[in-house]
Amino acid sequence: MADLCCINYYIMDLKNSTILITGGTSGIGLELVKQLGDKGARIIVTGRKIEALNETKKRFPKVHTFQSDVSDPDEIRDLYHNVTRQFPELNILINNAGEMRLLDMQDTSHSLDDLTREININLAGTIQMAHQFLPHLMKKPSAAIVNVSSAIAFMAYSTAPVYSASKAGAHAFTMALRLQLKGTTVKVLELIPPGVNTNLQNDWVLQPNPSQMMDVDKLVAVAVKGLENDTPEIKPAMVKVLKFLSRVIPNALMNFGHKEFEKFKQLNNNK
Ligand SMILES: NC(=O)c1ccc[n+]([C@@H]2O[C@H](COP(=O)([O-])OP(=O)(O)OC[C@H]3O[C@@H](n4cnc5c(N)ncnc54)[C@H](OP(=O)(O)O)[C@@H]3O)[C@@H](O)[C@H]2O)c1
């Protein structure tokens, strides 16, 4: 009986949760819609493109969609008011929306405004969403903020310098927030994917090595299990190995990844 009580205490009740997923119209977010929906959760999804939101609604009719850009604070404020008015029971926020570009810092075609786009979406968007929704989540008996970072948070990938910075920042922010919210009803979890086959890589001139990529349904199955068990850092086996190597041989690991930069530079120049 004592064991049962403890198991109930630790397992997150996804079935009775209302979950807001940013960037839920593609890739990891869309698969979260599917697998968390299968658990019985009520799902709310955001994204920028209306066609993708409509397509998601068509595929998953029970899902509620809101057009909203996480890099725009005014849109975050509007989203907060609309979602909490319609879904006062909202108790889980998944900050998943993100972009990743391969980028040569010597390429002068990038404007300064455009250069830091991933910082605005992946990092500032995550921080602003967490800040905006926190007072609401604090009122719930059981709540969570889940930030989607990346294995790149542990080792800068030279071919994607701004993305690397955004994800290292998201990882640091998540750890700090977890400490601040210790002792409250809001858990702070981090999903740390390796390379996963999604639309994230569609525009890359240098395509990733398929043998190093994880299937999205497998990644999300690990994520859902991690959510159910309140795992602070949800990491598939490949990421556990990478995190360990990033501590014992950080330079070797980064130099291995850096081999791709020359290939990218050449392809980028010939574009
Ligand atoms: N795939 C990987 O290899 C990998 C590895 C590690 C971490 N991750 C992380 O996982 C997350 C999901 O990536 P994914 O691979 O599933 O990519 P994806 O298939 O390209 O999906 C990205 C989603 O985010 C939305 N989005 C992008 N910018 C947005 C913004 N400013 N505001 C609101 N929504 C936005 C997109 O919809 P709209 O374009 O319509 O807005 C889309 O729904 C990202 O944070 C990514 O960094 C991915």
Q: What is the pLDDT of residues 20-61, one digit of tens each?
A: 999 999 999 999 999 999 999 999 999 999 999 999 999 999
Whole-angstrom distance, CA of residue 251 vs CA of residue 245: 10
List of residues 6+ apart from 29 with CB closer than 8 A: 21, 22, 23, 45, 47, 94, 96, 97
- If you average pLDDT over residues 188-192, what whole number do you get? 98
Instruction: Copy the structure tokens of residue 194.
Output: 């390796």
- If you average pLDDT over residues 200-221, what whole number do you get? 95
How distant, in Å, are the alpha carbons of 93, 154, 162, 264 from that of 255?
35, 14, 17, 15
Ligand 1, atom 29, lies closest to the CA of: 97
E strand segments, 133-264: 143-148, 186-191, 233-234
Place of tokens 């290292």: 168
Q: Which domain holds residue 34?
A: 2-269
How distant, in Å, are the alpha carbons of 17, 27, 113, 128, 196 from that of 212?
34, 17, 32, 32, 8
Query: How many whole angstroms from 270 Cα to the centroid of ligand 1?
Result: 27
Q: For residue 114, what is the domain's CATH number?
A: 3.40.50.720
Q: Is 95 in the pocket of ligand 1 (CB under 6 A)?
A: no
- Tens of pLDDT, residue by residue over 237-265, are 999 999 999 999 999 999 999 999 999 99
pLDDT in the model for residue 151: 98
Q: Is 32 in the pocket of ligand 1 (CB under 6 A)?
A: no
Query: How many whole angstroms from 26 Cα to the centroid of ligand 1?
Result: 7
Probe target for ligand 1 pocket from 26, 117, 197, with the most ligand atoms within 8 Å of CB:
26
Number of domains in the chain: 1
Q: Is 22 in the pocket of ligand 1 (CB under 6 A)?
A: yes
